[in-house]
């Protein structure tokens, strides 16, 4: 029902034209992103919305990230490189980078985007129009995920499977309950004045899943937010292998369950073994119906997320296995109170 509701309420970014042409500060934290940063900056340069500045924070990269940013800055003076400094105690790397970017941004809106994002030409127009139309303090989009390797195709769809089947996205805007909040750090657009009043990344400086923490905090403060899906205006290749994806998801999967270990385990058990008690108690016909329903959820989520319906349906058992392993990794990381990402330890 939740997955169907997300389809029926059309929770995708629609075409729009903003009423005002105020400056958007595009803020990009980057650490060892030579594979991605150039393509992202090229996609920003060709935006139909031209009133923007772009700041890239090079977080002590050891590759060619800075060189690529400087090359793009020579092509377009609206792009600027900020050299990073040592991470202060009590901060996580991305949160500190975002805070430093916000300190130097001058726009009326702040758009935080990950370096692995690609922007369609109409993205700034469409997203700013949506924020203004609904009088939002924050607007976030889950990009259409680009997947090439078999490992990516078995792991990356898990994020949308959990999101689209558990959270009616329209309620992120219409409900005041903080539990009905979501955001994606790959693309978050803020009203800059509200951001400057709150300094959200500083407020959650040590949170590994700062995007969801910020969204819930904003709802508690009575600020209007909305999170939706992309129809292709913004795309992202999150990971490049199964190992990288599992390491990344194990870092933040518990955030989908309110950081409740018990709730996360319950969800994993029900979605993996739920057919067994149904079969034992009600017989084969109901067990078949149960399995058909679980596959229907995968199909609805794939359609809403602009992913391959056939692939997600056929590989559902393997994706479920990957999900179980991710949950085990998350529990292990929590027991060890640490995780490693981009060469840094993260308190789990």
Q: What is the pLDDT along the chain (348 residues), one digit of tens a residue?
A: 999 999 999 999 999 999 878 999 999 999 999 999 999 999 999 999 999 999 999 999 999 999 999 999 999 999 999 999 999 999 999 999 999 999 999 999 999 999 999 999 999 999 999 999 999 999 999 999 999 999 999 999 999 999 999 999 999 999 999 999 999 999 999 999 999 999 999 999 999 889 999 999 999 999 999 999 999 999 999 898 999 999 889 988 888 888 889 999 999 999 999 999 999 999 999 999 999 999 999 999 999 999 999 999 999 999 999 999 999 999 988 887 666 655 556 654
Tally the domains of the chain: 2
d(CA 340, CA 348): 10
Looking at the fold, whether 200 and 276 belong to one and the same domain comes out as no
Looking at the fold, whether 80 and 149 belong to one and the same domain comes out as yes
d(CA 145, CA 44): 18
Looking at the fold, whether 115 and 95 belong to one and the same domain comes out as yes
Looking at the fold, whether 51 and 36 belong to one and the same domain comes out as yes
Q: Which of 49, 96, 92 is nearest to 82 (CA)?
A: 96
DSSP, residue by residue, 231-245: SSSEEE---SSHHHH
Identify the pLDDT of residue 251.
83
Domain boundary among 239, 261, 295: 239
Identify the pLDDT of residue 347.
58
**The token pair that represents 183 in the structure block:** 């955001």
Identify the pLDDT of residue 79.
98
Looking at the fold, whether 228 and 282 belong to one and the same domain comes out as no
Looking at the fold, whether 141 and 272 belong to one and the same domain comes out as no
d(CA 302, CA 139): 22
Looking at the fold, whether 39 and 153 belong to one and the same domain comes out as yes
Q: What's the residue count for the chain?
A: 348
For residues 78 and 52, the answer to whether their CB atoms sit within 8 Å is yes
Per the DSSP assignment, residues forming a β-bridge with 62 are none
Q: Is the pTM of this model over 0.75?
A: yes
Looking at the fold, whether 70 and 213 belong to one and the same domain comes out as yes
């Amino acid at each position: 029902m939740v997955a169907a509701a997300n389809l029926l309420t059309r929770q995708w970014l629609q075409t729009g034209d903003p009423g005002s042409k105020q400056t958007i500060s595009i803020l990009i934290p980057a650490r060892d992103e030579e594979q991605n940063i150039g393509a992202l900056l090229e996609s920003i340069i060709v935006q139909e919305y031209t009133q923007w500045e772009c700041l890239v924070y090079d977080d002590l990269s050891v590759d060619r990230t800075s060189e690529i940013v400087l090359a793009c800055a020579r092509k377009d003076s609206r792009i600027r490189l900020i050299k990073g400094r040592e991470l202060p105690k009590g901060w996580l790397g991305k949160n500190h980078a975002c805070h430093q970017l916000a300190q130097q941004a001058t726009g009326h809106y702040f758009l935080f985007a990950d370096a692995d994002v690609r922007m369609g030409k109409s993205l700034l127009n469409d997203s700013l129009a949506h924020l203004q139309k609904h009088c939002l303090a924050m607007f976030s989009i889950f990009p259409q995920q680009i997947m090439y390797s078999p490992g990516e195709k078995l792991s990356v769809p898990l994020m949308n499977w959990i999101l689209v089947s558990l959270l009616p996205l329209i309620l992120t805007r219409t409900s005041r309950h903080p539990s009905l909040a979501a955001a994606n750090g790959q693309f978050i657009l803020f009203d800059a004045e509200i951001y400057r009043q709150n300094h959200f990344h500083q407020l959650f400086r040590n949170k590994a899943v700062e995007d969801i923490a910020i969204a819930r905090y904003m709802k508690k403060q009575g600020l209007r937010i909305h999170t939706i899906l992309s129809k292709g205006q913004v795309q992202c290749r999150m990971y490049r292998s199964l190992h990288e994806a599992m390491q990344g998801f194990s870092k933040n999967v518990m955030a989908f369950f309110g950081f409740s270990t018990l709730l996360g385990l319950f969800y994993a058990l029900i979605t993996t073994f739920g057919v067994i008690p149904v079969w034992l108690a009600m017989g084969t016909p109901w067990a078949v119906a149960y399995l058909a329903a679980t596959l229907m959820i995968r199909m609805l989520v794939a359609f809403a997320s602009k992913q391959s319906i056939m692939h997600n349906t056929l590989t559902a058992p393997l994706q479920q296995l990957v999900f179980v392993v991710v949950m085990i990794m998350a529990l292990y990381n929590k027991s060890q109170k640490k995780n490693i990402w981009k060469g840094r330890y993260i308190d789990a």
